[in-house]
Amino acid sequence: MKWAVVLLAIFGLSECLHKIPLYKGKSAREALKEKGLLEKFMKNHPYNPSIKFNSALAQIANEPLTNDYDLSYYGIISIGTPPQSFKVIFDTGSSNLWVPSVYCNSYACTNHNKFNPAQSSTYRATSQTISVQYGTGAMTGILGYDTVTVGSLVDTNQIFGLSENEPGSFLYYVEFDGILGLAYPSISSSSATPVFDNMMSEGLVAQDLFSFYLSRNSQAGSVVTFGGFDSAYYTGSIQWIPLSSETYWQITVQNVMVNGQVVACASGCQAIVDTGTSMLVGDSSNINNILSWVGISKDQNGQYSVNCNNIGSMPDVTFVINGAQFALPASAYVMQTSSGCSSGFSPSSDQLWILGDVFIREWYSIFDRGNNMVGLAKAV
């Protein structure tokens, strides 16, 4: 698994869990018709002939997400029979599902829900192991199969990781228990089939895509939608961007502009759209140039602090992708808390950019496995 979850995982306070179920238990056609969206939905999808409205199982299913201080977004799934509940990050930057287990004695497991296979009548053990790498070490464990329920979707034959060792102490302090990866099978540890691949192969979703709306300022209402997307969460048209690699949700950024001037990625750069990373990450030289252009510099403690009073006068940072412009106003790329303001950009030694939650909060994101594209539209 990618290193990026570490960026958000060191933060662990959470507000109350908000559940706003939409479309649950209904067929795609029923849900869209009820919302008055069926005609528009069909009109907007002429390119995809594989809509499975005839499947008795196919649905559009929403999973509410809790916004944990704009640092992470997690929802609740269940595993086993009877169901055992877990809070998980729905992470487009990785591909494995794993949760803590009763076999784990690490410090990080002591205050989280732990899966007990002995209490599930549908659990099937394997002899396979799994190792997921983090910046502070590896999560290691075993693989097993069981029923995984996400919203109203019931995946009866899902392989997942049961942790035996979890790295360091950072996972102790987070609210979520585990990770549900939504990237491609090609980067799945131990070649474990990702959850959404099973959903597709079992015909559980109306379309082979899912979408994210991430709320701002710790507000309720964040949601991941499996099998469709909802025009209530965006305005204007959707810009469809072909993937440059079917590993992460990787796309090509043509350049980054401030005040009409190209300030980063002048020759293009690769980026992943990643719900599991809280910030917007890029290589140090490009990020530092962007920060200079918008007037952010390091303070005496080496932190990229921002005068909150300056937000209204700071320029947009615009990403040019597939010929379209995706602007981030200062209110998006400056993170505001009760203790002050700081940059939502994070320099990295890696050349692969990460368009994390800072970006996705502004741009409703659709992840289309059927056509290997990302759709972006202005979030409401």
Q: Where are the alpha helices (DSSP H) in the chain?
A: 5-9, 28-34, 38-43, 195-201, 284-294, 330-333, 357-360
The CATH homologous superfamily to which domain 233-379 belongs is Acid Proteases (2.40.70.10)
Tokens of 240: 């469809």
When pLDDT is averaged across residues 12-26 and rounded to a whole number, the result is 26
Residues of the chain with CATH 2.40.70.10: 5-226, 233-379
How far is Cα 306 from Cα 282, in angstroms, rounded to an integer?
19
In 52-198, the DSSP E strands lie at: 61-68, 72-79, 84-91, 97-100, 124-134, 137-150, 153-165, 178-181
Tokens of 379: 């979030």
Q: Write down the pTM of the prediction.
A: 0.86
Q: Who wins on pLDDT, 175 or 134?
A: 175
Which residues are marked as active site? 91, 274
Q: Who wins on pLDDT, 282 or 14?
A: 282
- pLDDT (tens digit per residue) in 135-156: 678 899 999 999 999 999 999 9
CB 139 within 8 A of CB 180: no
pLDDT of residue 34: 55
- pLDDT (tens digit per residue) in 272-317: 999 999 999 999 999 999 999 999 988 888 888 899 999 999 999 9
What's the burial of 47, exposed, middle or buried (CB within 10 Å: 0-12/13-18/19+)?
A: exposed
Instruction: Please enumerate in sequence order all residues whose Cβ is within 8 A of that of 30, keeping only pairs 6 or more positions apart, or say none.
Output: none
Q: Which CATH number fits domain 5-226: 3.30.70.100, 2.40.70.10, 3.20.20.80, 3.20.20.140?
A: 2.40.70.10
How far is Cα 148 from Cα 160, in angstroms, rounded to an integer?
9
Task: Give the single-character DSSP code of 82.
Answer: T
